[in-house]
Amino acid sequence: MTATNLLGLDLEGLVAFCEGLGEKRFRAVQLFRWIHQRGVADFAQMSDLAKSLRDKLAGVAEVTALKVLSEQRSADGTIKWLFDVGNGDAVESVYIPEDDRATLCISSQAGCAVGCRFCSTGHQGFSRNLSTAEIVAQLWFVEHTLRAEGKSRESSGRVISNIVMMGMGEPLQNYGALVPALRIFLDDHGYGLSRRRVTVSTSGVVPMIDRLREDCPAALAVSLHAPDDALRDQLVPLNKKYPIAELLESCRRYLERAPRDFITFEYCMLDGVNDAPEQAAQLVKLLKGTPTPGRPKSASSPLGGRAPASDLGGSGIPCKLNLIPFNPFPQSGLKKSPRERVMAFAEVLIQAGIVTTVRKTRGDDIDAACGQLAGEVQDRTRAEQRMTRAPVVVHRRVRAPE
Ligand code: SF4
């Protein structure tokens, strides 16, 4: 009989598992805390668990981490791990420390089927969904490895304060495994993170945004990358199925469930493709809708910071715009926007009252675009050939408002 990896069970799942062994709920809570809060994998070391339960678990359960293939540490503190998930597949996790937080970027799939033009993972094609255990194992390993190195924050005793499901894969195309993982991240007996500190980043799988709103409304980031459907069709192929208007409607519905929240829109700055001031103006129209008269405009620095979201009122969507510097890789055929162009783009948004940040690049000395390391492990060339053939055609440019 195959042992169950307990990293894959949320608390209710673990309660059911323990009940199947004839054990009470509070035993499952104890076990859950040993695993996630204390990072213990060996049942024999769980000293306040009844010996009879430890013996039962030894035969049917395990706590199994992912094998580390490589670890790269940047001078700025960023750490990138490559984990083996079997059959030649590998996934990445990135730890990003800042003054007041430490974020872990987690992968949800080996490869990705969405195939965004500017994404190295997308160029590798899709291999398989990760299990809940494989998703949670990334946090479990990083949290407890770095805690052992003394990297805990004084305020909480924990290392990781924020999670972004923004590594390899489209998390909403692995929904069944994602939701229990989110519940483990949020559970007070697990990692105890608030749902505003756990962000699901999606390229726009509209029906699943609606389901997430019902099942586990974590913070939502949406990869927008273009102000119109013609361009977005080319950059994010999923747009052909769920065009921008439908996507923004689903964002509005999402916020109905969490009215004090906002959506983060991600926008990867590509030289000569989506970075013109006219396109920024188009983006403003798209996101701002009709502002409520008399509402003050939000101000923000384009250089980052923790500005509050724009409350656009009216038909606008409360949101933040995050401009991401493109991380070039040879097969993309795309170039990074020059800094001055990024700042001019940000200025248009800020002047319109949209809170806008420009993401800092981190870990430059260990740099590889997300997915590049894993791509070296398994190169799915058919997807690469398909995607490198067609150039991005830029059309439907709009004029700047007078
Ligand atoms: S950006 Fe995200 S959704 Fe798009 S191909 Fe890359 S991993 Fe997939």
The pLDDT of residue 376 is above 60: no
CB-based contact 400:278 (threshold 8 Å): yes
Do 48 and 189 lie in one domain? The reply is no
Q: What is the spatial distance between Cα 39 and Cα 191, in angstroms, rounded to a whole number? A: 11
Do 42 and 148 lie in one domain? The reply is no
Catalytic site residue from 92, 134, 143, 266: 92
- pLDDT at position 258 is 75
Do 240 and 298 lie in one domain? The reply is yes
Length of the chain, please? Answer: 402
- pLDDT at position 231 is 98
Q: Quick: pLDDT tens for 276-305.
A: 999 999 999 999 874 433 333 443 433 333
Do 79 and 49 lie in one domain? The reply is no
Helices (H), 187-329: 206-215, 229-235, 244-257, 277-288
Do 13 and 128 lie in one domain? The reply is no
Q: Ligand 1: does its nearest atom lie under 6 Å from the Cβ of 238? A: no
C-alpha distances in Å from residue 138, one per residue of 74, 292, 331: 19, 43, 28
Task: Average the pLDDT over 323-334 and give the result.
Answer: 90
Do 8 and 97 lie in one domain? The reply is no
Task: Average the pLDDT over 213-228 and give the result.
Answer: 96
The answer for residues whose C-beta is within 8 angstroms of residue 215's C-beta and 6 or more apart is 179
Do 29 and 101 lie in one domain? The reply is no
| Atom 4 in ligand 1: residue holding the nearest Cα | 116
Evaluate whether residue 239 is within a structural domain: yes
Amino acid at 249: E
CB-based contact 172:185 (threshold 8 Å): no
- pLDDT at position 365 is 73
Of residues 71, 75, 70, 69, the one with CA closest to residue 365: 75
What is the pLDDT confidence band of residue 122, given thresholds at 50, 70 and 90?
A: confident
Do 166 and 38 lie in one domain? The reply is no
- pLDDT at position 291 is 42
Evaluate whether residue 400 is within a structural domain: no
Do 230 and 89 lie in one domain? The reply is yes
C-alpha distances in Å from residue 6, one per residue of 28, 62, 162, 303: 11, 6, 22, 42
CB-based contact 190:37 (threshold 8 Å): yes
- pLDDT at position 329 is 86
Active site residue 340: no
Given ligand 1 and candidates 120, 166, 170, which is best to mutate, with the most ligand atoms within 8 Å of its CB? Answer: 170
Evaluate whether residue 10 is within a structural domain: yes
Which one of 62, 84, 105 terminates a domain?
62
| Atom 5 in ligand 1: residue holding the nearest Cα | 122
Total of domains in the chain = 2
Do 149 and 45 lie in one domain? The reply is no
Active site residue 92: yes
The CATH code of the domain that includes 161 is 3.20.20.70
Least confident of 38-42, 114-118, 209-213, 356-360: 356-360
Pick the atom of ligand 1 nearest to 109's CA.
Answer: 7
Between residues 238 and 330, the one the model is more confident about: 238
Pick the atom of ligand 1 nearest to 113's CA.
Answer: 8
Q: What is the spatial distance between Cα 47 and Cα 182, in angstroms, rounded to a whole number? A: 28
Q: What is the pTM of this model?
A: 0.88
Q: What is the spatial distance between Cα 319 and Cα 311, in angstroms, rounded to a whole number? A: 7
Q: Quick: pLDDT tens for 258-270.
A: 767 899 999 999 9
Which one of 46, 62, 78 terminates a domain?
62
Residue 6 is inside which H or E element, if any?
none
Evaluate whether residue 75 is within a structural domain: yes
Evaluate whether residue 101 is within a structural domain: yes
CA dihedral 94, 231, 299, 343 (to 10 degrees): 80
Evaluate whether residue 106 is within a structural domain: yes
- pLDDT at position 161 is 97
- pLDDT at position 299 is 37
Residue 162 is inside which H or E element, if any?
strand 162-165
What is the pLDDT confidence band of residue 375, given thresholds at 50, 70 and 90?
A: low
Domain extent at residue 49: 4-62
- pLDDT at position 385 is 44
Do 48 and 126 lie in one domain? The reply is no
Q: What is the spatial distance between Cα 87 and Cα 378, in angstroms, rounded to a whole number? A: 9
